[in-house]
Amino acid sequence: MFEAKLIALYFYICERYGKELKYQCMRFSNNAVPVFTDEEALTIYFFAMGVEHRFKISEIHGFAQRYLGSWFPKLPSYQAFNTRMNRLVSAVQSLSMELLEQFQPLDCDKDNNLLDSMPIITCSGKRQGKVAREITDKGYCSTKNLYYYGLKMHVLGWKREGTMPWPESIVLTKASESDLTVFKENWSQLQNRTYYGDKIYKSKEWFDSVEEDTGSIMVTPVKVIKGEDQWSKQFNKAANDLYSKAVSSVRQPIESFFNWIIEKTDIQRASKVRSTKGLLLYVFGRIAAAFICSVFNP
């Protein structure tokens, strides 16, 4: 079973590399065809993470040395392997998006979308973030009541009956970026959709114009109106609570999706990353590994 999964993953990586991924990491030097190939490096990386659940580069390389030596006899040193993976970050990013498209389930409801975001933390808000400062900054996670430095991963998922949504689109931003701003920049032109979001997406006038232009609507829990008198609050409380509970129950699977990807890859804790390429590899590598796990290790 171990060997079958490794072989299946290697053939899949070789197929995708030959068609698309090689253009993300082309070389123009005397070492254009290395002895230890990119396909082998990617196979080891994703097999160790997606199937064996080893997430640190040192753990991945150590696992390959101990158990995959006969399969990959030209495995380089840890330092060379780490450098190679950082150079393959564009290929890893491309593969993570290809997996979402290629293995899309048939039961996706393409008229209904669930939206949410999740923090990816490089350090706590009490310290000064120094890693990948061109793509990270300080943000606040209301769910965890936490200030942090890092990224935010935004997911637009297709609703699926009785199970987690399947990501239609994943966007990475700095931690301070508003979910509503990300929606406006990336998804506001999609036609005839029903979106289910949290209260951050409550912007009635703007979404009225979106509905007029695209036929798409946003459904959110009821947000308290500032300055509303106490009598009106109490009068509408029962209906508002029922409506908000119904919307939250529809949105619950997107939270399950984030819990699933955290459990499979520990994607939120990026405090050991030390470079921009390393952080991008960390995030997109774990996104790909999570779906490789579901495909090759169900």
pLDDT for res 225: 64
Percentage of the chain modeled with pLDDT above 90: 66
What does the pLDDT look like over 91-121, one tens digit per residue? 999 999 999 999 999 999 999 999 999 999 9
Q: Band of the pLDDT at 126, cuts 50, 70, 90?
A: confident
pLDDT for res 144: 82
The count of residues in the chain is 298
Sign of CA dihedral 57, 124, 196, 258: positive
pLDDT for res 115: 94
Please give the mean pLDDT across all residues of the chain: 90
pLDDT for res 51: 86
Strand partners, 140: 147
pTM over 0.85, yes/no: yes
- Residue 211 in this model has a pLDDT that exceeds 70: yes
What does the pLDDT look like over 220-254, one tens digit per residue? 998 766 666 666 666 677 888 888 899 989 999 99
What DSSP string runs through 103-166? T--TT-EEEEEEEEEEEEEEEETTS---SSTTT-EEEEETTTTEEEEEEEEEEEEEE-TTS--E
Q: Is residue 71 classed as helix, strand or coil in its secondary structure?
A: coil
pLDDT for res 232: 64
How much is the average pLDDT of 115-135? Answer: 89
How much is the average pLDDT of 41-64? Answer: 93
Q: Band of the pLDDT at 27, cuts 50, 70, 90?
A: confident
pLDDT for res 76: 95
